[in-house]
Amino acid sequence: MIAVALWSVAVLLALALAGVVLSTRPRGSVILYGGCLLTTSTLCVTALAHLLYFPQMTPSATLPIGLPWLGAHFRLDALSAFFLVVVNLGGAAASLFAVGYGSHEESPGRVLPFYPAYLAGMNTVVLANDAFSFLVAWEFMSLTSWALVVSHHREAENVRAGYVYLLMASFGTLTLLLAFGLLASGAGYDFDAIRASHPSAALAGTVMILALLGAGSKAGLVPLHAWLPLAHPAAPSHVSGLMSGVMTKVAVYGFVRIVFDLLPEPVWWWSVVVLLVGGPTATLGVLYALMQRDIKRLLAYSTIENIGIIFTGLGLALAFKAQGLDWVAALALTAALLHVFNHALFKSLLFFGAGAVLEVTGERDMEKLGGLIHRMPKTAFVMLVGCVAISALPPFNGFVSEWLTFQAILLSPQLPNWGLKLIVPAVGGLLALAAAFAAACFVKLYGISFLGRPRSDVAASAHETDRFSLVAMFALAALCLVAGILPGLFIDALAPVSKAMVGNVMPHQTGLDWMTIVPIAESRSSYNGLLVLLFVALSGMAAASAIHRLASDRLRRAPAWDCGYPDPNPAIQYSASSFSQPIRRVFGSVIFAAREIGEMPPPLSPAPARLAVDMRDLIWDVLYAPIAKVVGVVTERINMLQFLTIRSYLTLVFAALIVLLLVVAL
């Protein structure tokens, strides 16, 4: 199976080279995306077969590339198989969507060569079994995704987004390089040798923090999230779906591989660090999302929230593992990994839906949309599924993984450490707050964009998107439902991963009656997605039947209730800004430094009233702006060196030589 995976990566790299030629052909995008669809589907099926039927096998391979004395090592185990499924399922969905969407790409030459290379980079990261191959693949993934972010390079915002993304990616790679350098200092670069080593507690703790910084910068953990809401909207929509739904999960894989696999048994304070980052990330991410009016920017901030939920689950797993409660650690880790899979499904679906709206209307601003449910009914349906799933409402998949996370939080009284007993419930409160805000956020997205009346001509003249895009979105929507009503199948599939990482598994789920899941014991909690679905369906049919039977059959016509506003102008509808105003006024001064600028015309004046909202990212202002200012001042001073005389240059060279001799002598 490792041979199939490596050959598939080679095919993706070959497609990247072919993309240079295909970008000039009329049907080139269809051929390239079709090839990516076939290759990623093969990889997904191969990885899924390994995870379900051969989880104990760990085939490996070594290629004569990379460092001369090391070579490139690759391995397929349960953890890498699961993340290969996530990567290639998302890649297959994005490729299918792009078969139709990509034909409208303005600059195919800047997208087609890098898209399959990007997929190859993510797969190679997951397969790598030595530090050098991992870091090279990680940097390759970053550079190819950067090229896709700046594919529309004539827009200044996209260039700035690419610049910030490249800086944050470089920072993440540097921290991972330091982490692997510390691990390799006593064992070498090969992961098998690192697993067999016994680093000191101080070194292991340092590596954990560096891994959190490196993986967190790629995943979008606060305060390392600055690039994400800039880069995700800038990329083409199928690439945005990959970056948000898949690449952030590769970052999660990097953290899990280092902390749960390569490092020895965790210490309790590791979990405190992860929890204190994960909980606030979830709440701040959804608060920022709730304030947005750009659909893709809203979805990007929502990714930060879900990454916070995932890292909260990982922090809980570390806490319980450190205290010897392996069975609860298995529950927390399974919840986190299940949310990895679920988020890849519904976030890809939502970005594809946003891309369909953007393709048809040319607008990402919700204030200029509205009424799309009548003009794009199929897209509106799948977007509704995605909004319900990401809001963690049953019977869809988002509910299951978040519910399992809360089940692990409710077991925190079993922790003997009082610090964790206080921190875990506080983080649980933050997650509950984030869940409520997420529901409000996606009610806003769907209501403003798809309901009501069109707010612009482009919304009024919208039409349904192409059939390939619809097939991709309907497939993801179906998976969201299947994972929500039959979660036991997915939980049991994660058992080999949990066993390898924390030494224990959740109770077997698929043998329970009515596909019920019981994470701990029936006396404590259980959930049945199938019964919830049946209840919703039967309730809906009963309500519809009662309305038709009991309602009067007399035809009556009357003006619609206008709420006191008889003017039918769509401008009087609720807007995205007005929807979020109450929450903005509560949290705005603390988190966003929000300022409302109103302009009221004189009485009886025909001029309209105007309201502008000014919001800033305080984390950017406090953390990154001062660093940028210092770097600017330093580079201005260093820039003077190019204007020195020959005598001054020789003096500097002589001084540097003296300093080096002193260093060597000491």
Q: For 246-263, what is each residue's pLDDT tens digit?
A: 999 999 999 999 999 999
Closest CA to 259 of 296, 216, 308: 216
Closest CA to 281 of 234, 321, 314, 253: 314
Tell me what the mean pLDDT of segment 349-367 comes to: 91
DSSP class of residue 130 equals B
Q: At 523, list the tokens.
A: 């006396």
At residue 389, the pLDDT reads 94
Q: Could you give the CA distance from residue 502 to residue 322 in angstroms, rounded to a whole number?
A: 10
- Tracing tokens 């204190």 back to the chain, one arrives at 276
Q: Could you give the CA distance from residue 10 to residue 428 in angstroms, rounded to a whole number?
A: 44
Extents of the domains making up the chain:
586-614, 622-665
At residue 555, the pLDDT reads 66
Judged against a pLDDT cut of 70, whether residue 219 lies above it is answered with: yes
At residue 313, the pLDDT reads 94
Lowest mean pLDDT among 177-186, 299-308, 539-548: 539-548
DSSP H helical ranges for 66-130 = 78-101, 114-127
Q: Could you give the CA distance from residue 367 to residue 81 in angstroms, rounded to a whole number?
A: 43
* Total length of the chain: 666
Q: Could you tell me whether strands 595-599 and 610-614 are parallel, antiparallel, or unpaired per DSSP bridges?
A: antiparallel
At residue 514, the pLDDT reads 64
Coil/strand/helix, residue 162: helix
Q: Could you give the CA distance from residue 211 to residue 214 in angstroms, rounded to a whole number?
A: 5
Q: Give the CB-side neighbour count of residue 115, counting CA atoms within 13 A.
A: 41
Number of Cβ within a 10 Å radius of residue 598: 9
Q: For 305-325, what is each residue's pLDDT tens digit?
A: 999 999 999 999 999 999 989
Judged against a pLDDT cut of 80, whether residue 570 lies above it is answered with: no
Q: Could you give the CA distance from residue 650 to residue 657 in angstroms, rounded to a whole number?
A: 11
Judged against a pLDDT cut of 90, whether residue 208 lies above it is answered with: yes
At residue 48, the pLDDT reads 95
Under the banding of pLDDT at 50, 70 and 90, the label for residue 43 is very high
Highest mean pLDDT among 78-82, 511-515, 621-625: 78-82
At residue 155, the pLDDT reads 80
Lowest mean pLDDT among 11-25, 77-91, 97-111: 97-111
Judged against a pLDDT cut of 80, whether residue 392 lies above it is answered with: yes
Q: For 223-245, what is each residue's pLDDT tens digit?
A: 888 888 888 888 888 999 999 99
Are 312 and 276 in contact by the 8 Å Cβ rule? The answer is: no
Q: Using alpha carbons, list the distances in angstroms from residue 645 to 313, 642, 656.
A: 60, 9, 17
Q: Could you give the CA distance from residue 312 to residue 560 in angstroms, rounded to a whole number?
A: 48
Judged against a pLDDT cut of 80, whether residue 522 lies above it is answered with: no
- Give residues with Cβ within 8 angstroms of 417, minimum separation 6: 268, 319, 323
Judged against a pLDDT cut of 90, whether residue 153 lies above it is answered with: no
Tell me the pLDDT of the chain averaged across its residues.
88
Q: Could you give the CA distance from residue 5 to residue 391 in angstroms, rounded to a whole number?
A: 35
Under the banding of pLDDT at 50, 70 and 90, the label for residue 103 is confident
Q: At 516, list the tokens.
A: 């019920």
Are 401 and 335 in contact by the 8 Å Cβ rule? The answer is: yes
Q: At 224, list the tokens.
A: 């390392």
Closest CA to 250 of 122, 134, 342: 122
Closest CA to 342 of 155, 535, 484: 484
Q: Which residues pair with 597 in a beta bridge?
A: 612
Lowest mean pLDDT among 385-389, 425-429, 464-468, 556-560: 556-560
Are 401 and 492 in contact by the 8 Å Cβ rule? The answer is: no
Burial bucket for residue 143 (CB in 10 Å: 0-12, 13-18, 19+):
middle
Q: At 263, list the tokens.
A: 């490092």
At residue 574, the pLDDT reads 75
The H-or-E segment that residue 659 falls in is helix 646-665
Q: Could you give the CA distance from residue 374 to residue 36 in angstroms, rounded to a whole number?
A: 34
Are 609 and 601 in contact by the 8 Å Cβ rule? The answer is: yes
Judged against a pLDDT cut of 80, whether residue 603 lies above it is answered with: no
Tell me what the mean pLDDT of segment 188-200 comes to: 86
Closest CA to 418 of 303, 539, 535, 323: 323
Lowest mean pLDDT among 173-182, 303-312, 562-571: 562-571
Judged against a pLDDT cut of 70, whether residue 163 lies above it is answered with: yes
Is cis: bond before 425, omega within 30 of 0?
Answer: no
Number of Cβ within a 10 Å radius of residue 193: 14
